[in-house]
Amino acid sequence: MRRGLVAAVALSAGLAVVLSACSSSKNSSSSGGSGGGAGGNTTLKLVAADYGTGPSNTSQKYWEGIASDFHAANPNITVNVQTINWNDFDNQVKTQVQNKQYPDILEGDFFPDYAQSGLLYPAKDVTSPSTFSNLLPVFAKLNTYNGTQYGMPFTTSARTLFYNKKLFQQAGISSAPQTWADIQTDAAKIKALGKVGFGLPLGPEEAQAESLLWFLGDGGAYQDDSGKWVINSSANVDTQHFLTDFVKSGVTEPNPGTKNRTDLWKQFAQGDIGMINGSPALIPIIQAGGKLTDSDWASVPIAGKSGPLDKTLGVCDNVSVFKTNSSKQAAITKFVDFFYQDKYQTQFVKEYFLLPATNSGIKALSSDPTFGPFLKALPNSVQYPNDPVWTQVKTQIQQTIATSLTQDPKKVLDSIQQTATKGS
Amino acid sequence: MVDTASASDVTRESGRVGQRRRPFRQRLGRAATPLLWIGPAIALIAVVVLWPVVVMFRTSVQHFSPNGFLLGPAGSKNFKNLFDEPDLPGILERTAVWVVVVVCVTMVLSLGLAQLLNQVFPGRRVTRWALIAPWAASVLMTTLIFRWALDPNSGVINLFLKDIGVLKSFGSNQADWLGRPQAAFVWMMVVAIFVSLPFTTYALLAGLQTIPTELYEAARVDGASTWRTYRSITLPLLRPAFLVAALINVINVFNSFPIIWAMTRGGPGHETATTTVFMFQLKEAYIGESAAMSVINFGLVIVVVLVFLWATRWREQVT
């Protein structure tokens, strides 16, 4: 699951922030990296993904700000920053590593094969105990190779249910939807206004996310706690039956199997959709749309079959530290502790509409009106399966899960389950 | 003239002399000289045409991880998995419909258009230029324009249909042309025909212009009707151009990817996919199986072309 946020949030989506980063020019500064010795000056090389949409909010600025603060506090340590836009990130990092031009610190995807090759420090060796224990434990598993945690979550994202308060008011609905039954009745009332009641993006872009959110609602999942595939569980089949009826009742957009998140989020921002599952990345889209003011919408926990969920789908991007030169380890630890401070986490969250990856970061933002609602479920968020076969399973879900709206759901889920258990 | 002739005589003379005297090495060098000129072209074909074919065949019998790591040989497993795909028969059928309908309709419409453009009328030059537009524009661009024109909420085609009373309301299932597999497939065929028309029309127009006017004059003198003239003079003489255009269209339409990909991505499921699109859908998770589909596609194109050539007695008709 090393593509964590990239796949789920950044590249595939209508997240304006990150999407246009793809087209923005590459931001790279001169790469330092060599040098450093005990007693003398140490130079660290940080390579990070660029989450910005252009020169105005490039992550280069964010990291250079931290680097200069850090240099001011530790004059004998200099941090050189290189940011790479998400489109080129994997390729450039791989090339650097193949040429043995290792960064000291890498932020972006976590590459388990680097841990496997012994290139990385275990996370515990390059953080102080307080920083390490501050990292959200729910994302530890994704960053673990062979029982040791190498990657550290740096930024995260999670889903909530967005609803259009203006439409709710017009339809005479006074409270936020909490259960599937609420969603059905509320969607029908909004449909009566001539709008789409519920936006259901089951098209190939991100069907695996939308489906998981509904599965969670009935206590289902892709894998159970022991890591066993349970895609065709009876709970999941029931969920698909519910969705089939839900779609048939005509309160969603027509043909959800062909509709993608990017387009539906934009429609929500236009005020044409009553409810939709979203992440903080939807907020800048709403703001750019200019149709809904901050008080026209709200976000609440994902609705479940019998009540709001205390968990949700979570994704994260990670920091990993390369074993470049053992004399640098102390300096690296200092820097890692430094940039995990709450103020930098908060700054990142507000800049890019993502979520923090530390316990104290969550606490610092918990009363924030924009981000607060997303943080409740984040510590017990559910991730996509950490399994090599997931790529194939995901593709099959994206391409076929919507066919269960017109065919026998059991058969469709059986077929996906079969792919999962067959292995890669 | 005289100069040239004598010069070539000299060359020939010295050539003959040279052949007798030059050692083998030099003769070989002379024989290889043309290679210098056609060499780059051959190298280009080898690298961009032949090599990918080799890689495609090789990939189809290998087992790859979705991230592109080679995991070992796969034998015929990729092909077996491909033939076990429950959606494959439907996809093959759809591909046949796609090629036959798009090519036939394109050819018929183009015959009419070419005839029209061959007439002398005011504004002919502009009309001819206008026809180039869909050809000059990238297929993807044209397709995206159609996709947006068909948008269920604000597409211009839906606006028009609403205005003339065909469409009852926006955002409805009826307005969602690309969401319903059958409707989507018909619309995609419309786009495919639209982008195929310019080339076909120009190919036929070129053919029409090679028909000597004396023949038409003779027909007129003989009192032949317009329809008779068209059937007995225009169509037979147009045959070579018609066959070339049809064949190129068959290959193009069969391989057509951007139209379907940009409009429906072959979905929902694989319900609007042709074999070319299905190959790409498979590639996202099953590289080997996707290569197997490529091999089948490759074979299909060759078979279709051979059948076409045989059925149209190509050799007599065109060459």
Domains, chain A, with CATH or none: 4-158+315-380 (3.40.190.10), 160-311+387-422 (3.40.190.10)
Across all residues in chain B, what is the average pLDDT? Answer: 87
| B268:A255 CB<8 A | yes
- All residues of chain B having their beta carbon less than 8 Å from the beta carbon of residue A207 are none
Confidence of residue B7 (pLDDT cuts 50, 70, 90): very low
Which residue on chain A is closest to B180 by alpha carbon? A255
The 10 Å CB-count burial string (b at 16+, else e) for A49-65 is bbbbbeeebbbbbbbbe
Q: A123 in helix, strand or coil? A: helix
pLDDT band at A424 (very low <50, low <70, confident <90, very high): low
Tell me if B66 and A392 make a contact (CB, 8 A cut-off): yes
Confidence label for A242 from pLDDT (cuts 50, 70 and 90): very high
Locate B141 and state its tokens. 């661009």
pLDDT tens-digit map of A21-63: 333 333 333 333 444 444 578 999 999 999 988 888 899 999 9
Q: Is the pLDDT of residue B91 over 90?
A: yes
Length of chain B (residues): 319
The predicted structure's pLDDT at residue A117: 83
Residue A399 to residue B176, Cβ atoms within 8 A:
no
End-to-end distance of chain A based on CA atoms, in angstroms? 15
User: How do residues A91-140 score in pLDDT, each as one tens digit?
Assistant: 888 888 888 889 999 999 888 788 888 899 999 999 999 999 999 999 98
Q: What is the pLDDT of residue B188?
A: 95
Sort out which chain B residues have CB atoms less than 8 A from A196's CB and list them: 171
% chain A with pLDDT above 90: 60
Q: Is the peptide bond prior to B52 cis by the omega test (within 30 degrees of 0)?
A: no
Q: Do B286 and A257 touch (CB under 8 A)?
A: no
Q: How far is B268 from chain A (nearest CA, A)?
A: 6
Closest CA of chain A from B190, distance in Å: 20
Q: Which residues of chain B have a CB within 8 Å of the CB of A402?
A: 267-269
Sorting pLDDT into bands at 50, 70 and 90, what band is B34?
confident
**CB pairs < 8 Å spanning A and B:** 63
Chain centroid to CA A300: how far?
17
Total-model pTM = 0.78
For chain B, what is the HEC assignment? CHHHHHHHHHHHHHHHHHHHHCCHHHHHHHHHHHHHHHHHHHHHHHHHHHHHHHHHHHHCCEEECCCCCEEEECCCHHHHHHHHCCCHHHHHHHHHHHHHHHHHHHHHHHHHHHHHHHCCCCCHHHHHHHHHHHHHCCHHHHHHHHHHHCCCCCCHHHHHHHHCCCCCCCCCCCCCCCCCHHHHHHHHHHHHHHHHHHHHHHHHHHHHHCCCHHHHHHHHHCCCCHHHHHHHHHHHHHHHHHHHHHHHHHHHHHHCCHHHHHHCCCCCCCCCCCHHHHHHHHHCCCHHHHHHHHHHHHHHHHHHHHHHHHHCCHHHHCC
pLDDT in tens, B266-308: 878 899 999 999 999 888 888 899 999 999 999 999 998 898 8
Tell me whether residues B285 and A259 touch, CB distance under 8 A. no
User: What are chain B's domains?
Assistant: 2-59 (no CATH), 77-317 (1.10.3720.10)
Q: Please compute the mean of the pLDDT values over residues A253-263 and round it to a whole number.
A: 90
Of the candidates A258, A272, A395, the beta carbon closest to that of B268 is on A258
State the pLDDT at residue A97: 85
Higher pLDDT, B179 or B1: B179
Name the more confident of B4 and A203: A203
- pLDDT value at position B203? 94
Name the minimum distance, in Å, from the CA of B259 to any CA of chain A. 16
| Binary contact (B265, A204; C-beta < 8 A) | yes
The mean pLDDT value for A336-358 works out to 94
- A314-344 pLDDT, tens digit per residue, is 989 999 999 988 889 999 999 999 999 999 9
- pLDDT value at residue B3: 45
Over range A148-162, report the average pLDDT: 93
Q: What percent of chain A has pLDDT over 70?
A: 91
Angle at B255 between CA B254 and CA B260, to 5 degrees: 90
Dist. CA A375–CA B304, nearest whole Å? 59
Q: Characterize the bridge pairing of strands A77-85 and B62-64.
A: unpaired
Is residue B224 over pLDDT 60? Answer: yes
Does residue A268 have a pLDDT over 80? yes
Distance CA A180, CA A202 (A): 17
Determine the average pLDDT of the residues in A365-387.
87
Q: Do B269 and A257 touch (CB under 8 A)?
A: yes
In angstroms, what separates the C-alpha of B214 from chain A's closest C-alpha? 57
Residue B9 has pLDDT above 80, yes or no: no
Residue B197: is its pLDDT beyond 90? Answer: yes
What pLDDT was estimated at residue B318?
Answer: 61
Give the residue numbers in A contacting B (CB under 8 Å), as ranges: 196, 203-204, 253-255, 257-259, 267, 272, 388, 391-392, 394-396, 399-400, 402-403, 406, 424
Chain B: give the shortest CA distance to residue A102, in Å.
22
Gap between the Cα atoms of A100 and A97, Å rounded:
5
